[in-house]
Amino acid sequence: MAMVLVTPASAGTTLGASAAEKGRYFGTAVAANKLSDSAYTTILNREFTMVTAENEMKIDATEPQQGQFRYSQADPIVNHARTHGMQVRGHTLAWHGQQPGWMQGMEGTALRTAMLNHVTQVVTHYRGQIYSWDVVNEAFADGNSGGRRDSNLQRTGNDWIEAAFRAARAADPGAKLCYNDYNTDNWTWAKTQGVYNMVRDFKARGVPIDCVGFQSHFNNDSPYVSNYRTTLSSFAALGVDVQITELDIQGAPANTYRSVVEDCLAVARCNGITVWGIRDSDSWRASQTPLLFNSNGSKKPAYDAVLAALNNGTTPPTTPPPTTTPPPTDPPPTTPPPGTGACTATVTVNQWTGGFVANVRVTAGSSALNGWTVTIALPSGATVTNAWSADRSGNTGTTNWTNVAYNGQVGAGQSTEFGFQANGTAGSLSPTCAAR
């Protein structure tokens, strides 16, 4: 019997477009020295909406000599991302690994001061350009202790992690701040529980943490397990976003890749998935052929499984249900909502006493955008103080936001973001979007 496969009308044909239809990104690690490889950039530009510098934002790359900051390795990656409408995850600010020689030899107060200065300088350099920062990377020990890893940073005092988060928040209040680690995928593992307890404690004490990154380097020693979804949803229930930040799977089994995507789609606060490289030959574990593309750039069965899972997944509600009873009838519409069908805008707010940062995501509908305008009505008392990645008119009441030169063109189903900081209270913002 002949079978006819029906593709939903809205199904995307690339990882990024399909993820965007589910309100998520799909990213990859990028190595700066591969940006001159056209086979590499062809896949990068076609498939991905988020980029992580594989090594170029690490401490040894950005501060090779103490106090001398160098962005010549990372900036080409950030510029490539921005000119192609991709967002950037910053990786990473405070880590025991890939420390420059001068830092490796440091301890105590001098190291604490140097680490905080590093966080402040690098986050300030990229202020307004980073979707989320891996502020602290791999601070927990493997094995059964559930405790911290010994390192020169840990020996500066147990509060080094929260100190790094506070410095990052002060330097860029618009970036999501993540804790990132590996071997934290299995809910039953002591390391997972150790990180969970830290995040719960941070949320209880108001330490500025917004997200947890799960590296998810799956292999025979640290395999994918079906409780992965429980892990993601349990962290999300603490009030943080979760992100899959460095995904690769030994042998790239299609079913396992599919499960990971389905798990992310099942958790409303799972923002997106980043794979740790494009082709197998780009992988830090090339011999395990763990990625979605063959070394010759062709799509593997795992790619097809990921795309299908993104297209078939259902979108869970991203906002909690209203706690008040809605009016019995909707008020009659006065004017039709602007730009219906052309684009949509959603907003994420980080509110603190007296101020907030809003990140606004603009997503194209079934046609590409050549420009966009977002309208946001601010409640009384809210005043915009600064903004990035959009031009605005008005800083109180009804504000209009239009694209800047580099982010007006948004492919069908793709997204871009802008943001602003304001005094006052955001309340619930309802942005509308129109094509220009």
Q: Of the listed 47, 63, 246, 417, which one is catalytic?
A: 246
CB 133 within 8 A of CB 167: no
Euclidean distance between the first and the last CA atom of the chain, given in angstroms as a whole number? 49
Per this entry, what is the length of the chain? Answer: 436
Shortest spacing between CB 359 and ligand G3I, in angstroms = 25
CB 373 within 8 A of CB 402: yes
Nearer to ligand G3I (CB atom), residue 284 or residue 388: 284
CB 135 within 8 A of CB 166: no
Nearer to ligand G3I (CB atom), residue 102 or residue 284: 284
CB 92 within 8 A of CB 57: yes
CB 167 within 8 A of CB 120: yes
Shortest spacing between CB 264 and ligand G3I, in angstroms = 19
Sequence-distant (6+) residues with CB within 8 A of 384 are 378, 392, 394, 395, 396, 399, 420, 421, 422
CA 362 to chain centre: 15
| DSSP letter (8 states) at residue 141 | -
Nearer to ligand G3I (CB atom), residue 80 or residue 258: 80
Helix or strand holding residue 134 (H, E): strand 132-137
Shortest spacing between CB 230 and ligand G3I, in angstroms = 23
- C-alpha span between 43 and 309 (Å, rounded): 19
Nearer to ligand G3I (CB atom), residue 224 or residue 401: 224
Shortest spacing between CB 247 and ligand G3I, in angstroms = 11
47 counts as catalytic: no
Q: Of the listed 63, 138, 162, 417, which one is catalytic?
A: 138
63 counts as catalytic: no
- Would you tell me which residues interact with ligand G3I (CB under 6 A)? 54-55, 97-98, 182, 215, 246, 284
Residue with CB nearest ligand G3I?
A: 284
Shortest spacing between CB 213 and ligand G3I, in angstroms = 9
Nearer to ligand G3I (CB atom), residue 32 or residue 310: 32
CB 413 within 8 A of CB 8: no
Nearer to ligand G3I (CB atom), residue 59 or residue 387: 59
The SS3 of residue 276 is coil
Shortest spacing between CB 143 and ligand G3I, in angstroms = 17
- C-alpha span between 64 and 102 (Å, rounded): 8
Helix or strand holding residue 40 (H, E): helix 38-47
Q: Residues with catalytic annotation?
A: 138, 246
